[in-house]
Amino acid sequence: MIETQWYLLLSAAVFSIGLFGILVRDNALLYLMSVELMLNAANINLVAFSLQHGNLTGQVFALFGMALAAAEVAIGLGIILVLYRNFETIDVTVPTTMRW
């Protein structure tokens, strides 16, 4: 068996990559992809602990998480469409009307 730390390290790495994408990217679609990466990192974590405890609940939760990620992407794409309609661009640094 591979020890649990390595799974957790993998999960942390994927999460940080996703976070890096959120902090750096300015294209809305790539933004959504980074969010997906973060969600999947959480799934890896869940499955790793399911193995560690010997309980299938972790895998159920991970399944749920995947489905929710898909749903969220669907809605996110819809929002990006509306954003494009209102601001003529999908650059996330342009819509700044909700500010001081």
Partner 1 sequence: MKRPRLATDLDLAPGIAALALFGVLAAVFLTASFDAPAGFEAGLSVMDGIGYALFDLVEQSPLVTEGFLFAFLAIAVVLDAALDGALLLAKREGGDES
Partner 2 sequence: MTGIYDFVPVIALLPLVSFVVALFAGKYLPKKGALAGIAATGGSLVLSLVVALTVATGKTAGYNETLYTFLEAKGAAPFSLELGVLVDPLSALMLVIVSLISFLVHVFSLGYMNDEGETGLPRYYAGLGLFSFSMLAFVFASNILMAFMFFELVGLCSYLLIGFWFREAGPPSAAKKAFLVTRFGDYFFLVGVVAIFATFGTGAFAGSESFPHLAEQALHGEHAVNTFLGLGEQAWFTVIGLLVLGGVMGKSAQFPFHTWLPDAMEGPTPVSALIHAATMVAAGVFLVARMYGFYALSPTALGVIAFVGGFTALFAATMGIVKQELKQVLAYSTISQYGYMMLALGGGGYVAAVFHLTTHAVFKALLFLGAGSVIIAMHHNENMWDMGGLKDRMPVTYWTFLAGSLALAGIFPFAGFWSKDEVLYETLIHGLGESPLLLGGYAMGLLAVAFTGFYTFRMVFLTFHGKPRTEVAEDPEPVRWNVKGPLVALGVLATTLGAINMVPIKKLTGAHIDYLHQFLDAGPEAFLTNVHHYGELLENPAFAGYGAADIGTSGLLISAGLSLGLALAGAGLAYRLYNVPEPVEHTDRLGRVKTLLMHNYYQDEFQVWLATGLTVPLANVANTFDQGIIDGVVDGISSASRLAGRGVRRIQTGVVRNYAALLTLGLVLLVAFFGVTGGWF
Binding mask 67-96 for partner 1 (x = CB under 8 A): xx-xxx-xx-xxx-xx--------------
Dihedral over Cα of 86, 92, 93, 98: its sign? positive
Contact 27, 90 (CB under 8 A): yes
Nearest to 69 by CA among 30, 43, 45: 43
Segment 2 to 31, residues that bind partner 1, using CB under 8 A: 3-5, 8-9, 12-13, 15-17, 19-20, 22-26
| Shortest distance, position 16 Cβ to partner 2, whole Å | 10
Q: Cα 74–76–80 angle (5° rounding)?
A: 120
Distances from the Cα of 29 to the Cαs of 36, 46, 62, in angstroms? 11, 26, 24
| Shortest distance, position 72 Cβ to partner 1, whole Å | 7
Binding residues for partner 1 (CB under 8 A): 1, 3-5, 8-9, 12-13, 15-17, 19-20, 22-26, 51-57, 59-60, 63-64, 67-68, 70-72, 74-75, 77-79, 81-82
